[in-house]
Amino acid sequence: QQQVKQSPQSLIVQKGGISIINCAYENTAFDYFPWYQQFPGKGPALLIAIRPDVSEKKEGRFTISFNKSAKQFSLHIMDSQPGDSATYFCAAGGSNYKLTFGKGTLLTVNP
Amino acid sequence: NAGVMQNPRHLVRRRGQEARLRCSPMKGHSHVYWYRQLPEEGLKFMVYLQKENIIDESGMPKERFSAEFPKEGPSILRIQQVVRGDSAAYFCASSPSPGNQPQHFGDGTRLSIL
């Protein structure tokens, strides 16, 4: 059972554009939602995370939007750059400290 | 480098051999998590350990896999009698405390089974 569904599987954006990646979860016990960025041959690096007491969190060009009632959250990358080309994973965690990951989105930003 | 250190980065084993993967958490972190990543898949939780204790191993296969985090030294993920299906990237993460604290990942060990 896939508890965190991520879409799209791949995304191509022009430089300067907005990249949007969406995730949906099923388990209402989740209360921590991080996003990770992974480059080939590297481990996932924490980008930004949100808790359900806020609907939006922004750090630089990265914004998480959170909709608790719909059980959905999304990552927006503003002014996308070629250096942002990577695989992005959403995840969800609860009091049991495990992180449940989506399957990832391969982002390509064309120059 | 104060990050999570994993070694080896690449490990090749023949079917039936043993694989040992090591993880040194970030300085000051006493909680270690192991995840497995198959091609085109997200990471799957395997086990959560604190020093000298296994807290949750619900994601570990029942046979051939074991993990430890001794009082001194790195955490070890051990796979006995490896099979082709064990080929994957194994990532270790650490956090300063349990629960919903940021988990910081190492660069993983890529295990290939011949």
Asked if B42's CB is within 8 angstroms of A97's CB, the reply is no
pLDDT at B21 over 80: yes
Look at residue B99 in the predicted model and tell me its pLDDT: 64
* Chain A residues lying within 8 Å of B56, measured CB to CB: 96-98
Least confident of A63-67, A78-82, A96-100, B107-111: A96-100
Mean pLDDT (chain B) is: 92
Look at residue A1 in the predicted model and tell me its pLDDT: 55
Which of A97, A101, A104 is opposite residue B48, by nearest beta carbon? A97
Overall average pLDDT of the A87-98 stretch: 88
pLDDT at B1 over 60: no
Asked if A95's CB is within 8 angstroms of B33's CB, the reply is no
Residue in chain A nearest B9 by alpha carbon: A41
pLDDT tens digits for range A23-51:
999 988 898 999 999 999 999 999 999 99
Look at residue B110 in the predicted model and tell me its pLDDT: 97
Which of B41, B95, B105 is opposite residue A103, by nearest beta carbon? B41
pLDDT tens digits for range B55-67:
999 999 999 999 9
* Chain A residues lying within 8 Å of B4, measured CB to CB: 43
Asked if B102's CB is within 8 angstroms of A46's CB, the reply is yes
CA A38 to chain CA centroid, Å, is 11
* Shortest Cα distance, chain B CAs vs residue A9, angstroms: 10
Burial class (CB in 10 A: 0-12, 13-18, 19+), B84: exposed
In chain B, % of residues over pLDDT 90? 78
DSSP B23-86: EEPPTT--EEEEEEE-TTS-EEEEEEEETTEEEE-TTS-SSSEEEE--SSS-EEEEE-S--GGG
* Chain A residues lying within 8 Å of B99, measured CB to CB: 95, 97
pLDDT tens digits for range B74-108:
999 999 999 999 999 999 999 887 765 789 999 99
Total count of residues recorded for chain B:
114
Overall average pLDDT of the B8-28 stretch: 96
* pLDDT band, very low/low/confident/very high, at B42 (cuts 50, 70, 90): confident
* Chain A residues lying within 8 Å of B29, measured CB to CB: none
Asked if B43's CB is within 8 angstroms of A89's CB, the reply is yes
